[in-house]
Amino acid sequence: MSLAKRIIPCLDVDNGRVVKGVQFVDIRDAGDPVEVARRYDEQGADEITFLDITASSDDRDTIVHVVEDVASQVFIPLTVGGGIRTVDDVRRMLNAGADKVAINTAAVFNPEFVKEAADHFGSQCIVVAIDAKQVANGENPRWEIFTHGGRKPTGIDAIEWAKKMADYGAGEILLTSMDRDGTRDGFDLALTRAICEAVPIPVIASGGVGNLDHLAKGVTEGHADAVLAASIFHFGEYTVGEAKEYMKQHNIEVRQDA
């Protein structure tokens, strides 16, 4: 008997539509986040994460409606990230039915916001999203926090930052390797392991998944508590159920009740 490692499909949502990998679905349903979320739920996803990449803040209400729709039909944990900057933003998402919010850039510019949000709503619903990029190789590898989709360095050490965010009340860390994101080369396992060992809170590995073995290695070698992937599920290459079967064959505890 033990806690299962989680598999979390991630949907990038732009103005109410899923924007990655919609080729394989019927035109009727293409890119409808509610439909996609329902399908992942049926496949046995342990949670679902929505990242709102809507550029204009005028259109941000759209994601609220998406979350409301999904939350009234899908009864597993839902996380929403993207553009979460104020306590009011957090409240709006939680009231819409999100269980957790992911705070990214706003934490970098104002770390106190994480504290404030955790005090207000409890650590259990505050995820800090960390975008890290390797800045030194070799014996003493080093990763730094980058903002603006990996373009702007901040000079902040990723491991120190993760520890600080845990101290500030984050309940979980969503760790994305900006070197691997979109490459399908697998997680940055050294980074994942370094962060997982540094913090007392759960860590979700993200960025670079191209096959099922990458997911399994995130757990067995990266020591992640959960693994997140987008395109391998969106393109229909694998179902969440297949991913769980693969992990189980590699002696990883997964939930297969569904």
Partner 1 sequence: MTTVAVIDYGMGNLRSVCKAIEHVAPTVTVKLVTDAEGMRSADRIVFPGQGAIAGCVSALTRQGLLDALEDVVHNKPFLGICLGLQALYESSEEGGGTRGLGILPGVVKRFPDDMKDAVTGERLKVPHMGWNQVHQVNDHPLWAGIPQDSRFYFVHSYFADTSDRSYVAGITEYQLRFTSAAAHENIFAVQFHPEKSQHVGLKLLENFVNWDGSVQSRV
Nearer to partner 1, 121 or 238 (CB): 121
Question: Should residue 190 be labelled a site residue for partner 1 when binding is judged by CB under 8 A?
Answer: no
Q: Among the residues of 97-239, which ranges form H helices?
A: 105-109, 112-121, 158-167, 189-198, 212-220, 231-234
* DSSP H or E run through 51: strand 48-52
- Give the closest residue to 199 by CA, choosing from 227, 162, 158, 226: 162
Write down the least CB distance from residue 2 to partner 1, Å. Answer: 7
CB neighbours of 135 closer than 8 A, spacing ≥ 6? Answer: 142, 143, 144, 153
Stretch that binds partner 1, among 10-18, 55-63, 123-131, 229-237 (CB under 8 A): 123-131
Give the rounded distance of the alpha carbon of 253 from its chain centre: 20
Question: Should residue 183 be labelled a site residue for partner 1 when binding is judged by CB under 8 A?
Answer: no
Question: Should residue 171 be labelled a site residue for partner 1 when binding is judged by CB under 8 A?
Answer: yes
Question: Should residue 77 be labelled a site residue for partner 1 when binding is judged by CB under 8 A?
Answer: yes
Write down the least CB distance from residue 55 to partner 1, Å. Answer: 28
Is the Cβ–Cβ distance between 114 and 165 less than 8 Å?
yes
Question: Should residue 88 be labelled a site residue for partner 1 when binding is judged by CB under 8 A?
Answer: no
> Please, how many CA atoms are within 13 Å of residue 257, restricted to the half-sphere of its CB?
3
What is the set of active-site residues?
Answer: 12, 131
Q: What share of the chain is helix, strand, coil (3-state, %, to 5)?
A: 35, 25, 40
Q: Candidates 81, 161, 225, 239: give the one binding partner 1 (CB under 8 A).
A: 225
Q: Candidates 16, 150, 182, 202: give the one binding partner 1 (CB under 8 A).
A: 202
Q: Candidates 84, 103, 212, 226: give the one binding partner 1 (CB under 8 A).
A: 226
- Which spans of this chain sit near partner 1 (rule: CB under 8 A)? 1-6, 41, 46, 71-73, 75-77, 94-99, 121-125, 171-172, 196-197, 200-203, 223, 225-226, 255, 257-258
